[in-house]
Chains A and B, each alone.
Chain A
Amino acid sequence: QVQLQESGPGLVKPSETLSLSCTVSGDSISNRVYYWGWIRQPPGKGLEWIGSIYPSGTTYYNPSLKSRVTVSLDTSTNTLSLRLSSVAATDTAVYYCARAREGPSPTGYSYYGMDVWGQGTMVTVSS
């Protein structure tokens, strides 16, 4: 059974860098069937995609965050990482990591969705 667990500081000061890790168990992040991503949810609001990374290292980012975000994989620790620089109060949110899949299917090509999520970690930006 695949499990994802986010970890990192719950409080970050404005203008500093937010760093989170997502430890994957039960599967290898190098498995080319899947890709990995980060999603956040400000208190009382909806879901916002931050970025995704394929095992090949190819990354995609939310344009609104692209200049501040880095998503990476560490195959030695089977961990997904997120770095968000120059944080502000608007970056306060629950941060989730998730696994996603897409690929060839009997109908041609399919998007299988984000099928495994971490429990989420709350990050507050405040001095």
Chain B
Amino acid sequence: ETVLTQYPATLSLSPGERASLSCKASQSITTYLAWYQQKPGQAPRLLIYDASNRATDIPARFSGSGSGTDFTLTISSLEPEDFAVYYCQQRGTWPLTFGGGTRVEI
């Protein structure tokens, strides 16, 4: 099983600041990684697929990078609506796994 470790667990930032969220895989998953955003009471929303591609209607301030075992989600300038929990998820190997999440808070 591929374990995904996300850090930090919590990121305290202000609107307008840059956020960098990390996701480390226990083995290589090439670029088969997705990022999701989840707000309270809502289902997760796909942000990034294949490590670096923005999903439909996702603003350009969200970007993803990385391959192999190390991945990063960057939010270039935080908007008030970006404060949420972010999860990475891999499809490099079965079973599918999610990271534990990073909470981005004010």
Q: Which residues of A contact B (CB under 8 A)?
A: 37, 39, 46-49, 52, 60-63, 96, 100, 102, 105, 107, 110-115, 117-120
Contacts and interface: CB of A to CB of B under 8 A. Distances in A.
Given A46-B101, A47-B98, A49-B96, A111 B49 contact: yes
B49 A47 contact: no
Interface stretch (B12-20, B70-78, B86-94): B86-94
Interface of B: 1, 31-34, 36, 38, 43-46, 48-50, 53, 55-56, 87, 89, 91, 94-101
- The 9 tightest CB contacts between A and B, nearest first, are A113-B34, A113-B49, A117-B43, A111-B32, A111-B91, A49-B96, A47-B98, A110-B50, A113-B46
Given A52-B96, A63-B95, A110-B50, A46 B55 contact: no
For chain A, what secondary structure do more than half of its interface residues adopt (helix, strand, loop), or is it mixed? strand
Contacts of A112: 49-50
Contact of B91 (A46, A62, A102, A107): A102
A114 B89 CA distance: 9
Contacts of A113: 34, 36, 46, 48-50, 55, 89
Contacts of B43: 96, 117-120
B58 to A, nearest CB: 11
B14 to A, nearest CB: 25
